[in-house]
A and B are shown apart, each in its own frame.
Chain A
Amino acid sequence: MSAQIVRLPVARPAGDFIVEKVADEVLVYDQRNHVAHCLSPVAALVWSLCDGGKVDRVRAALADAGHKDSVEAVIAQLSSAGLLRAPERVDHSRRRMLGTTAVAAGVVLASPVIFSLVSPSVAQAASAACGAKTQICCTTAPKCNITLRCQSNKCL
Chain B
Amino acid sequence: MEPTRRYRLTFAGRERLLAIDDEAPLVCRSIRETQDALEGDLALHVAATCPDRVFIHAGVVAIDGRALLLPGRTFSGKSTLVAALVAAGATYYSDEYAVLDAAGRVAAYPRRMSLRRNTGAPRRVLPRRVGSARIRVCWVLGSRYESGATFVVTPLTPGRTALLLLDNAVAARLASSRVLAAVRAVAATCQGASVVRGEARRTVEELLHFCAGKASYPPVRFAPEDG
Q: Which residues of A come within 8 Å of B, CB atoms? A: 18, 20-23, 25-27, 29, 31, 34, 36, 38-40, 115, 117, 119-122, 125-128, 136, 138-143, 146, 149-153
Contact = CB atoms under 8 A, between A and B. Distances in A.
A149 to B, nearest CB: 5
B162 A38 contact: yes
A44 B22 CA distance: 45
B172 A127 contact: no
Contact of A119 (B73, B74, B121, B169): B169
Task: Give the interface size bracket for B toward A.
Answer: 35 or more
B40 A29 contact: no
B176 interface: yes
Interface in B164-194: 166-174, 176-177, 180-181, 183-184, 187-188
A125 B40 contact: no
A140 B41 contact: yes
B33 to A, nearest CB: 7
B20 A141 contact: yes
A127 B163 contact: no
B157 A23 contact: yes
A139 B24 CA distance: 16
B37 interface: yes
Contacts of B130: none
A25 B157 contact: yes
B33 A125 contact: no
Given A36-B180, A39-B159, 17 more contacts: A22-B184, A27-B162, A27-B183, A117-B163, A119-B166, A122-B171, A125-B172, A126-B57, A126-B74, A138-B74, A139-B37, A139-B114, A140-B74, A142-B37, A146-B24, A150-B26, A151-B33
Given A29-B180, A136-B75, A152-B120, A23 B173 contact: no
Given A122-B170, A125-B168, A126-B57, A31 B176 contact: yes
Nearest to A34: B173
Given A126-B170, A141-B40, A115 B121 contact: no
Contacts of B75: 128, 136
Nearest to A142: B26
21 contacts: A22-B159, A23-B158, A23-B188, A31-B176, A34-B172, A36-B180, A117-B163, A117-B167, A119-B172, A122-B171, A122-B174, A125-B73, A126-B73, A139-B36, A139-B40, A140-B41, A141-B41, A146-B24, A152-B119, A152-B121, A153-B121
A150 B27 contact: yes
A36 B172 CA distance: 10
Given A29-B180, A141-B37, A142-B37, A128 B187 contact: no
B166 A36 contact: yes
Contact of B74 (A117, A128, A152): A128
Contacts of B183: 27
Contacts of A146: 24
